[in-house]
Amino acid sequence: MRKKGANGQESRARLLIVAANEFAKSGYHQTKISTIVSRAGLTQPSFYLYFESKEAVFKELVEKFRSELKILLEGSRLESGIDEEHVTGRLQSVLTGLFAFLGKDSDLTQIGFFIGDDAVIVKSEMVAMIEQNLKAEQRDGYFDGDLDMHIVAECLVGVIERLTSQQLLTGKRTPEDLARHVVSLFMHGISIYPAKRAT
């Protein structure tokens, strides 16, 4: 970025917002720089004051999503010593925060979680971070010690991905509602019958 000052920062921010919306709506390949600058009320030469290319804007948006998600997941691990009756509520709070993040900027979520080439990597990183948290929580006695937390993390990310695209971003469900359902499913299952151990 070569331009300094409040006007330059405002123009750059406007380009990022418009670009995110265009990428989310039209995809990477169909989005044109001319459309971005026109919608942002700027000229095409001004675009190059802030970004080298369309790819540079897209990568910056993906990295923004990725880094914010990483910070959120790093702070989501259950602390040691939570009373058993508060674990479900704490998990629900963590998942509500995650769904709220994914719903806050739907354009950025579309880019970072669904349409970007790095979306698969972002979700793999998410699985690894959730698995790490779950293993620590398993050691703290919150979860069944026999569970393979890699499988649990994969399942959880799959559920989050699907619910985000089909329920959250479409406005059908709130982050709180989705979190409540996911925690209920993972903590209590779907059966009304008491669990029987295989002999």
The model's pLDDT over 136-185, given as tens digits with 9 standing for 90+, comes to 999 999 999 999 999 999 999 999 999 999 999 999 999 999 999 999 99
CA 77: distance to chain centroid?
Answer: 16
User: Which burial class, exposed, middle or buried, applies to 86 when counting CB atoms under 10 A from its CB (0-12, 13-18, 19+)?
Assistant: exposed
- What is the per-residue pLDDT across 87-96, written as a single tens digit (0 to 9) for each? 999 999 999 9
- The region that residue 55 occupies, defined by phi over 0 for left and psi between -120 and 50 for alpha, beta otherwise, is alpha
- What is the per-residue pLDDT across 48-84, written as a single tens digit (0 to 9) for each? 999 999 999 999 999 999 999 999 999 999 988 888 8
- Is the pTM higher than 0.95? The answer reads no
Q: Which CATH number does 5-51 carry?
A: 1.10.10.60
**Of 127, 154, 152, nearest in space to 142 by CA:** 152
Cα 36 from Cα 26, distance rounded (Å): 12
CATH 3.30.70 assigned to 60-188? no
Residue 1 has pLDDT above 80, yes or no: no
Domain boundaries along the sequence of the chain: 5-51, 60-188
User: Which burial class, exposed, middle or buried, applies to 72 when counting CB atoms under 10 A from its CB (0-12, 13-18, 19+)?
Assistant: middle
Q: Where are the alpha helices (DSSP H) in the chain?
A: 5-26, 33-40, 44-50, 54-74, 84-104, 106-109, 119-139, 149-163, 175-188
* pLDDT confidence band for 197 (50 / 70 / 90): low
- The region that residue 83 occupies, defined by phi over 0 for left and psi between -120 and 50 for alpha, beta otherwise, is beta
User: Which burial class, exposed, middle or buried, applies to 178 when counting CB atoms under 10 A from its CB (0-12, 13-18, 19+)?
Assistant: buried
